[in-house]
């Protein structure tokens, strides 16, 4: 049997390292997906963004095939893998759900899918893996070793702001800047 294992990370760089470690452990590119924000493509045109992997640190494997996808409620993201293809299909076909629908179709609980979509909306990056049972422990260890966002703490922070679920009709999120001009992430 296959499980979908999904984690969110505060930065694309952390998520990219997770993808590279998954590939190095023998997990197939076709089983891994990544969707997230990367400042280097913030102003890019999604229609022109196919194959930008080398420009955002994708040296080999899945990351070499990164493209840009515009997701309603999120805006432009870097994306590769089965989840990116599903989200692109949902967006292109005007199917309900976009990223949330793509995650739930892959077996992710709806509340968790809303959390991951909101995390991407707020600047994070999601890595999702379709893992056979015999590889699930390895996948989870690699993903958890990279210190993913603590879901419960981050959800509490979102809810303190009045958030209830991902809204694909919302404007893309603009993270407040810190005094040094960089985007702030809540401390987990």
Over the stretch 108-148, which tens digit does the pLDDT of each residue have? 999 999 999 999 999 999 999 999 999 999 999 999 999 99
- Tell me whether residue 20 is in a domain: yes
Q: Side by side, which strands form the sheet with 125-132? A: 2-9, 125-132, 32-36, 75-80, 67-71
67 in Cβ contact with 78 (< 8 Å) = yes
Which of the two residues, 69 and 155, has the higher pLDDT score?
A: 155
Q: What is the pLDDT of residue 184?
A: 52
Q: What is the pLDDT of residue 43?
A: 52
- The domain tally of the chain equals 1
Nearest to 46, CA basis, from 106, 6, 93, 91: 91
- Tell me whether residue 112 is in a domain: yes
- Tell me whether residue 36 is in a domain: yes
Q: What is the pLDDT of residue 64?
A: 76
- Tell me whether residue 51 is in a domain: yes
Q: What is the pLDDT of residue 93?
A: 42
What percent of the chain is modeled with pLDDT above 90? 49
Which of the two residues, 75 and 142, has the higher pLDDT score?
A: 142
Look up the domain containing 128 and give its range: 2-159
**pLDDT classification of 176: cutoffs 50, 70, 90:** low
Paired tokens of 136: 């699930």
- Tell me whether residue 50 is in a domain: yes
| pLDDT, tens only, 51-68 | 444 444 555 577 877 788
Tell me the mean pLDDT in the region 16-30: 94
- Tell me whether residue 178 is in a domain: no
Nearest to 128, CA basis, from 185, 94, 86: 86
In terms of average pLDDT, the best of 34-43, 120-129, 164-173, 179-188 is 120-129
């Amino acid at each position: 049997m296959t499980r979908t294992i999904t984690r969110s990370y505060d930065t694309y760089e952390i998520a990219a390292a997770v993808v590279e470690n998954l590939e190095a452990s023998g997990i197939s590119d076709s089983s891994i997906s990544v969707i997230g924000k990367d400042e280097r493509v913030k102003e890019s045109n999604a229609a022109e963004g196919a194959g930008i992997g080398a420009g955002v640190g994708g040296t080999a494997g899945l990351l070499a095939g990164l493209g840009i996808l515009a997701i309603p409620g999120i805006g432009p993201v870097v994306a590769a893998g089965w989840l990116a293809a599903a989200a692109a299909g949902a967006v292109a076909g005007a199917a309900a759900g976009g990223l949330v629908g793509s995650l739930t179709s892959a077996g992710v609980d709806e509340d968790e899918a809303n959390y991951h979509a909101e995390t991407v909306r707020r600047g994070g990056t999601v890595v999702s893996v379709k893992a056979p049972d015999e590889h699930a422990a390895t996948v989870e260890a690699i993903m958890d070793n990279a210190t993913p966002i603590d879901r419960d703490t981050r959800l509490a922070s979102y809810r303190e702001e009045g958030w209830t679920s991902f809204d694909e009709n919302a404007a893309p999120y603009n993270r407040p800047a810190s005094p040094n001009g960089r985007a702030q992430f809540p401390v987990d």
